[in-house]
Structure 1
Amino acid sequence: MSEDSRYEAVRSRDARFDGAFFFAVSTTGIYCRPSCPATTPRRRNVSFFPTAAAAQGSGYRACRRCRPDAVPGSAEWNARADVVGRAVRLIGDGVVDREGVAGLASRLGYSARQLQRQLTAELGAGPTALARAQRAHTARVLLQTTGLPIAEIAFAAGFASVRQFNDTVKEIYALTPSGLRAVRPGTRSGPTSPSGTPGVLPLRLAFRGPYAARQVFDHLQARALGGIEEVTGAPGRRTYRRTLRLPHGTGIVEVDEAVGDGWLDCRLHLAELRDLTTATQRVRRLFDLDADPYAVGERLGADPVLAPLVARSPGLRSPGTVDPVELAVRAVLARRTGTGAGRDLGERLVAGYGEPLPRPVGSLTHLFPRAAELARAPLAGLAPSPSRAAALRSLAAALAARDVVLDAGTDRDRAERALRALPGIGPWTAGYVRMRALGDPDVLLGAPPPGTTPALWSPWRSYATHYLHAADPAGTPARHSPQEERIDA
């Protein structure tokens, strides 16, 4: 987009571009999302930034009316496979807070200086500034949804000191932490947690455009593993719950099917508040909340075969996962057995090798087994055949040794090659893992219908896969090796 086209999006308050760019007004010192309802500023007073961190780095503070820090992420970061896209995904997962810039650079295979240069050149902010902006957003959520002491919030959000926390909040929001807490929006307020306990964190998970919640919840309900997942309630009012294994502790997430005005209601139960950012980002990936349904609809709707499917289900998503290791193991279990049988095997695996929760919550009793545990497990009676058990054990060993890496910022091509080098994993299973565990929006599973041109669907072929599967759940199996059978997308 040119700056003039960006300004036209601001003039029309076009929510399609929320998160794709931000604009700042020199006369007020404030930056906003494109759909901000405030009076449109004059063109000569407006500057544009690719990220909120870049706007903050130029001295602008966040608008209290449109809350630009709460917008969906740009779908570009899911589509891009270069180092910048990979870095943004890892920063979102909290890697800089846990491992520092050096740890981020090491994961990407770059020096810290090279990484700083690339991110600054393209995003207007380096990894430290991007992580700082994310910490500020986490702090605002905690201030406005809990009654925790401010000092606890500072460290839970990832700040090194209370002073750093105070200075950052004042700079970004032009308020002290106490002042920011006092102006919590009424629509976001909820039950506050007692001082000193994590409690329940009510969140609104923003998305752009239409959201086909029914199909996403159908997808998750059909595959829910007892012990770690459950879906309760009637269609249209369902709630999805599951356990989370997080860097500092455990968690449980609840997400409601009922769609608000651009958000899904979510509640997080965390053993460690420091995991809030990571947990939120992983839930966003599971529900594919950073997708761009406008771009998907425009590209796929141009195909005469897909056009009626797109019109019938606008906003169809490509669900991801909160745990790439779990997803890969479940894909191997479901190979040649189908979704139902794969789910039964998964539940037996959870019961036999899962880690019990400190305190069960209803039917949620376990965390999914760790890869290292499965690599040394006998798996007797838990796999339908010796060859399946061997494939599962081989995958678990490769994941535990990090010979196969499925982190948020991993190189997708390299990960797929490593998966396909393992016994029992063919192109379909590797593609399925790439689509869901690595969030690749451009994976086509299955043979395309006659008369279509899949190359023209790129970079949204994962969504085409889901549209085709929704239209014909039985489907046509992919062209695959004789040793491998399809897994329902």
Structure 2
Amino acid sequence: MDEDTRYEAVRSRDGRFDGEFFFAVETTGIYCRPSCPAVTPRRHNVRFFATAAAAQGSGFRACRRCRPDSVPGSADWNVRADVVGRAMRLIGDGVVDREGVAGLAARLGYSARQVQRQLTTELGAGPVALARAQRAHTARVLVQTTDLPITRIAFASGFASVRQFNETMRDVYASTPSELRAAAPRGGRAARRSATPTAGVPLRLAHRGPYQSRAVFDLLAAEAVAGVEEVGGEPGRRTYRRTLRLPHGTGIVAVDERPGAARTASGAHPGGWLDARLHLTDPRDLTTAVQRLRRLLDLDADPYAVDERLGTDERLGPLVAARPGLRSPGAADPEELAVRALVGRAEAERLVQRYGKTLDAPCGSLTHLFPEPAILAGAEPGGTLGALATALADGAVRLDPGADRDDAEAALLALPGLDARTVATIRSRALGDPDVAPPDLEIPDSWRPWRSYALQHLRAAGEWEQR
């Protein structure tokens, strides 16, 4: 998009582009999402940025009305397999906060200077600034939804000091943390009276465009592994819950199914959100847990681009019309997904009961974490499962958010006994590749680059079985 096209999106308050770019108003010093309901500024007063971090780095503060820091992430970071896309996925997972820029660069196979240069050139902000923007958003969520002491929130959000935390919050939100807490919406203040990270942080997980939650929850229910996952309630009002192994502790997350929003008068679907609660043993894991949920539920997809391409196909057109915004679910834990894709649901449940770590505080039917690859490699070293677990444990196969998809696929195919269809499932689900087709199914090239989504339409229509 050129800047004139972006301005037209701002003038029409087009929510399709929330998170794809940001605009700032020089006369007010505020930056917004494209769909901000405020009066449209004059064109000569507007600047455009690829990321919130770039707008913040240029001295602009986040709009209090449209909250541009809480929009869905750019769909580019799901689709792109280059170093910038891989870097953004890793930053979203909290790698810079945990390992620094040097750790990010090492995972990408580049020098820190190269990563800095590429991100700054394309996005207008380097890895430190991008991570800072993410920390500020995490801090705002904790400030406004929990009663945690401000000092604890500072370190839980990844800040090195309380002073750095206070300065960042003033720069980004033009408010102190105490002022942000006082200004929290009434619902947030009510939830805070009983909410702590161990009791559950309430969140709204935003998405752009239509979202077929029923199809996603149907798939999650069909795949749920006892002890680690559960789906309860009636269709249309279900809740998906699961355990998570996180960098600093463990978590139990819950997401509510939400009926699709109606079309607007213009025929478009507005964006929306899914309600979630995160029960964390360590609040430092909030950002990572949220990003892993977003990847599992495919919340950062661009349904407009997918539906526009697939909707013109003779076979897929009626399916897209019936389920606009259908997603291609990913994985909350890529290594777990790889093992489950290989062994199936029943065997996965056996592995959980035999080798999974029991939670310190089980919650209903959620009692275990899925066993780590190193545990499986030592306990069952033989066969294909042993080969896969060993490769995951020693890093011969990488499935983290910054992994190179082609390299991972080649490494998986080199393992004894791992068939091409299972590898295709791992590439689509664990690595979040939007353009994967199983080798035993004829898929036309016209479905590129959204073949993973095309298969979900076939599955939802009962024309293809995913395993």
Shorter-chain-normalised TM-score: which range? over 0.9
Q: Partners of 2:404 and 2:51 in 1: how far apart?
A: 23
1:182-233 Cα deviation digits (max 9, x unpaired): 1112355552266986331000000000000000000000010000000000
- 1:20-31 pair list within 5 angstroms: 20-31=20-31
Q: Deviations over 1:388-430 (max 9, x none)?
A: x500010000000000010001000000000000011122111
Q: What is the aligned partner in structure 2 of residue 483 from structure 1?
A: none
Residues 1:279 and 2:289 aligned together: yes
- 1:465 counterpart residue number: 455
Matched, 1:433 2:433: no
Q: Are the equivalent residues in 1 in contact too, given 2:413–2:423 (CA < 8 A)? A: yes
Q: Give the CA RMSD over aligned residues.
A: 1.5
- 2:461 alignment partner AA: A
The CA deviation string for residues 356-383 of structure 1, in whole angstroms up to 9 with x for no partner, is 000110000000001000001148xxxx
Contact 2:405 2:427 in 1 (8 A): yes
Deviations 1:302-356 (A, max 9, x none): 11111000001111100111101100000110xxxxxxxx211111110000000
- Of all paired residues, the percent bearing the same amino acid is 68
Q: Report the AA paired with residue 54 of structure 2.
A: A
Which SS does the other structure have where 1:230 is aligned? strand
Structure 2 counterpart of 1:349, which letter?
L
SS at match of 1:399: helix
Q: Which residue in the other structure is 2:267 paired with?
A: none
Which residue in the other structure is 2:276 paired with? Answer: 266
Q: Specify the alignment match of 2:394 in structure 1.
A: 401
CA contact (8 A) 2:135 2:159 kept: yes
SS of the residue 1:38 aligns to = coil
Paired amino acid for 1:72: P
Q: Which amino acid aligns with 2:404?
A: D
Partner of 1:165: 165
- Within a 5 Å distance, the mapping from 1:40-119 to structure 2 comes to 40-119=40-119
- Confirm or deny: 8 A CA contact 1:215 1:316 kept in the other structure: yes
The 8 Å contact of residues 190 and 202 in structure 1, kept in 2 or not, is answered as no
Residues 190 and 328 from structure 1, CA distance in 2 versus in 1: closer, same or farther, beyond 3 angstroms?
Answer: farther
- CA 1:246 to 1:190, structure 2 compared with 1: closer, same or farther past 3 Å? farther
* Whole-angstrom CA distance in 2 between matches of 1:197 and 1:321: 23
Query: 1:84 corresponds to which letter in structure 2?
Result: V
Cα distance between partner residues in 2 of 1:186 and 1:426: 53
The yes-or-no answer on 1:207 pairing with 2:207 is: yes
- Aligned equivalent of 1:242: 242
SS of the residue 2:400 aligns to: coil
Aligned mates of 2:321, 2:190 — CA distance in 1: 36
Task: Identify unmatched segments of 5+ residues in structure 1.
Answer: 334-341, 380-388, 476-486
Q: Which amino acid is 1:69 matched to?
A: D
Q: 2: distance between equivalents of 1:364 and 1:296?
A: 35
Assess, with a 3 A threshold, how the Cα gap between structure 1 residues 196 and 441 changes in structure 2: closer, same or farther. closer
In the superposition, relative to structure 1, how do residues 430 and 60 fare at CA in structure 2: closer, same or farther (>3 Å)?
same
Cα shift at 1:460:
1.1
- Is the CA contact (8 Å cut-off) linking 1:284 and 1:290 kept in structure 2? yes
How far apart are 1:454 and its partner, in Å?
2.5
Aligned residue among 289, 298, 319 for 1:309: 319
Residue type at the aligned position of 1:296: V
- Looking at structure 2, the residues matched to 3 and 400 of structure 1 have their Cα atoms a distance apart, in angstroms, of 47
Query: CA contact under 8 A between 2:225 and 2:349: conserved in structure 1?
Result: yes
Question: Aligned with 2:204: secondary structure?
Answer: strand
> How far does residue 472 in structure 1 lie from its aligned partner after superposition?
2.6
Give the AA of the match of 1:441. Answer: P
Q: Which runs of no fewer than 5 residues in structure 2 stay unpaired?
A: 262-270
Task: Kindly indicate whether the alpha-carbon contact (under 8 Å) linking 1:193 and 1:200 is maintained by their aligned counterparts in 2.
Answer: no
Shift of 1:457: 2.0
CA distance in 1, matches of 2:387, 2:302: 37
Question: Who is 1:484 aligned against?
Answer: none
Q: Within 2, Cα distance between the matches of 1:375 and 1:70?
A: 40
Deviations 1:135-193 (A, max 9, x none): 00000000000011100000000000000000000000000010111111235555226
Alignment length, in residue pairs?
A: 457
> What amino acid maps onto 1:174 in structure 2?
A
Alpha-carbon deviations, 1:15-61, whole Å to 9, x = none?
00000000000000000000000000000000000000000000000
The separation in 1 between residues aligned to 2:77 and 2:171, in whole angstroms, is 27
Aligned equivalents of 1:152 and 1:113: distance in 2? 32
Shift of 1:468: 1.4
Partner of 1:354: 356
CA distance, structure 2, for counterparts of residue 142 and residue 411 of structure 1: 33
SS in 2 for 1:198: coil
The 3-state SS of whatever aligns with 1:244 is strand
Which residue is equivalent to 1:300? 310
Please state whether the residue corresponding to 1:191 is helix, strand or coil: helix
Deviation at 1:436, TM superposition (A): 0.4
Indicate yes or no: 2:412 matched with 1:419. Answer: yes
